Amino acid sequence: MQAYDEIYRDGITACKGAFPVAWADEMREDMETALADALGRPGGAVGRGPNRYYVEIHPEQLRGFVDLASHPWVVAVCEAVLGPQYQIVELGFDVPGPGAVDQPWHRDFPMPPVTRETGVLNSLAFNLTGVDTTEDMGPFEIATGTQFDDEPSFEHGMFPPKELYPRYLERAVRKYPKRGDISARSALTIHRGTTNHSDLSRPVLVLGVDAPGAGNDERHDMAVTRDYHAALPPVVREHLSCSVVDNLVPITQKHTIEGLVMGAA
């Protein structure tokens, strides 16, 4: 599969025009609603640098969740890279607002032993933009082919020392996705958000998926209600790893190391 080859070679792949623009606009509306709620309560959002936030949400907060989780390209990539028993463990979004600055180069979490020892990737991050990305919005920048870089000197196992930055600058590629596009990447591939010179926010949805036993579900508190869970199509329900509850509780964010290293939002 081409996407499999690209993820193992470059650390990232994409499906252009996977959804209509109207679907992406609805997604952006749901992210904006969730962000306003998250910023209004303690622990609702985590800072990832000045004017840059991450918010984890429940599937029921995203009207298009089932469309995304059951999209044929998403399903095919998950099965090819992670195996037929893949697990959806995370739903959230990043929002680089006006004035967001260059992040330090980083990966999303430390390299797991299975990747270091065998070269096998056991997680994926799918991203969908809420806007048509332009140069002044602070586009996502990824250092291709760095998903297997080992990290004995990485702070928290995630942030490489600045003496390695020339390697990442040499391999850096800026991405300009449009509404309706989907990308899939290894969260281990070294990347960063760049400076947002515009007066617009650039919200990006994140769908996190694991191979069995990868353990990233422990970083998240995603949940669904019983009626919602029962109504899900099997292609989604059988792969959804989260709590099934009577009533949803707003999520308090857990993944806060980025805020410590990247500076207060």
Q: Give residue-wise pLDDT tens across range 192-222.
A: 999 999 999 999 999 999 999 988 877 888 9
* Domains of the chain, earliest start first: 2-244+251-258 (2.60.120.620)
pLDDT at 260 over 80: no
pLDDT at 111: 95
Q: How confident is the model at residue 265 (pLDDT cuts 50, 70, 90)?
A: very low
Low-confidence winner among 56-60, 215-219, 259-263 (lowest mean pLDDT) = 259-263
Q: Where are the beta strands (DSSP E) in the chain?
A: 12-15, 46-47, 52-56, 87-96, 123-129, 140-143, 172-174, 182-185, 191-193, 204-210, 223-225, 243-245
Q: How confident is the model at residue 249 (pLDDT cuts 50, 70, 90)?
A: very high
pLDDT at 262 over 70: no
